[in-house]
Amino acid sequence: MHVHDNELGKKTILAIGGTGTGKSTFGRIVFGVNAIPGGGSDSITKQTVLYENDKYRYIDTPGFSDSGGSDDSEIFRNMLTLMQKNSVNNKFKIDFILWFCLESERCDQTLQRGASFIQNLVEYADLNEFDGNIWKSVLIIIKGPMLSPSLCEGSKIAAKLAMMKFINEKNLDVDECNIKVDHLACWIFDLNDNSSDIYKTMSIEQRLSWNVYLKDEIGEKVRNRISYLPFGVEIFFIQAKCKRCNCLGDPRLFDKHCHPNINPSPRHNIHVERYHPNNLIRDHSGAAAAARPASAAGPAGLAAGTIAGGIVGAAAGVILSSNEKCRDCHRSFLEQGCVKQCSGCNRFWGESGCRWKYTCCGWEETKSGCETRHICGTPECDIEIDPCICGACGMLLGTEGCTKDIEHDVVCNDEGSDTESF
């Protein structure tokens, strides 16, 4: 996917890598921007900065940690935040990426973290137009003379591992043999007055064979090399939401974990009890007895309270002939009647029952609840509203959500919709 020059005709370069590897220095001496060089653990570059001149936009980033990597994620988010602020239609164009690394044969954790961050820049790229191989636009700058060719292998292996992980996660059809990344080893010996005399005595040919350059020489060398990088990349930013903590925006800009311990409330004394969510009602415990006539279920005009004779179904008080029928069900009084009674209490179903039951489950009053709930024993907690929940994470206080690092549960917004649609 070719990325054309922006409207100003400037090339955008991203400088990324470890502390003290020369990112700011390259911005100043190679691309002519006013980057402030730092060095070592006291590097002046603490935030991602976009420098600009007539030809280039140079993004200088803080150095990734060389041990532990505790702040690397924050550095990456800071870098992406700057890109998003300068994006157009949620896209930010980068023409070239310079990955600054130290000499290394081993693919250590520092190199793997750096490669993962670079690969993650195209996490939401349009894979219908772009195969995800960001490394076509990357030039690895190896700081040092690199007298052994194997000293670039660590960073190249890290790049390939990051790309292979991306291919597997996205289920892409990419030939592993096409995953290549270019590199340039260099040592600039005239950055200060204390430059080594040994390089001054060398011929130009010998010095360049050792990858040792003057400031003027390295500038021309780097600009020439990046001109052959055929691909640029677009950084896509999406709208998403975490279902746990309700963070909104691009997931790469979320805090590292979903449940930060922000001003936590004291732990609450939570226990579980069983309960019935619905009320008790009176019910009959017995099965239906043999159907009997109701006192008012006889023929029209027969009063309740008379004594039935030997005929089943007869209305109380009179002896009925076999051809007389019930006015409610119109069946003969010699047939089964239409009114049922409880065998437990001998009362009709319509009357008050002989036991209590719960409408939620049908269980008797003496049985334990059919559902469970969390009850807090802390006096200040109003359990009539809800069980105690943490304002930082929305989980029950004292549960894992408040005390452990939980990954975000992200759902992406539909294309073309806005945040309000969540």
Q: What is the pLDDT of residues 160-171, one digit of tens each?
A: 999 999 999 999
Reply yes or no on whether the pLDDT at 152 is more than 90. Answer: yes
Structure confidence at residue 38 as a pLDDT band (50, 70, 90) = low
Could you tell me which CATH number the domain at 11-237 has? 3.40.50
All residues at 6 or more sequence positions from 292 whose CB lies less than 8 Å from its CB, including other chains = 313, 337, 339, 340, 341
The whole-number pLDDT of residue 360 equals 87
The whole-number pLDDT of residue 300 equals 38
Residues of each domain in the chain carrying CATH 3.40.50: 11-237
Reply yes or no on whether the pLDDT at 223 is more than 50. Answer: yes
The whole-number pLDDT of residue 12 equals 96
Closest-CA residue to 318 (of 335, 331, 337, 299): 299
Closest-CA residue to 258 (of 359, 101, 401): 401
pTM above threshold 0.85: no
Q: Which of 41-50, 223-232, 268-277, 293-302 has the highest mean pLDDT?
A: 223-232
Contact 291, 338 (CB under 8 A): yes
The whole-number pLDDT of residue 246 equals 64
Reply yes or no on whether the pLDDT at 78 is more than 50. Answer: yes
| Mean pLDDT for the stretch of residues 351-375 | 80
Reply yes or no on whether the pLDDT at 244 is more than 80. Answer: no
The whole-number pLDDT of residue 166 equals 94
Q: Which of 64-73, 330-339, 377-386 has the highest mean pLDDT?
A: 330-339
| Mean pLDDT for the stretch of residues 327-340 | 74
Q: Which of 57-61, 191-195, 331-335 has the highest mean pLDDT?
A: 57-61
The whole-number pLDDT of residue 366 equals 80
Least confident of 1-5, 290-294, 333-337, 359-363: 1-5
Alpha carbon of residue 169 to chain centroid = 15
Reply yes or no on whether the pLDDT at 237 is more than 90. Answer: yes
* Strand-pair category, 11-17 with 240-242: unpaired
Structure confidence at residue 88 as a pLDDT band (50, 70, 90) = very high
The whole-number pLDDT of residue 322 equals 58
Distance CA 246, CA 258 (A): 9
Residue with the bigger pLDDT between 304 and 232: it is 232
Structure confidence at residue 124 as a pLDDT band (50, 70, 90) = very high
Q: What is the largest CA-CA distance in the chain?
A: 139
Least confident of 54-63, 216-225, 402-411: 402-411
Distance CA 99, CA 123 (A): 18
Q: Average per-residue pLDDT in the chain?
A: 76
Distance CA 114, CA 97 (A): 12
DSSP-derived 3-state class of residue 391: coil
Least confident of 124-133, 278-287, 373-382: 373-382
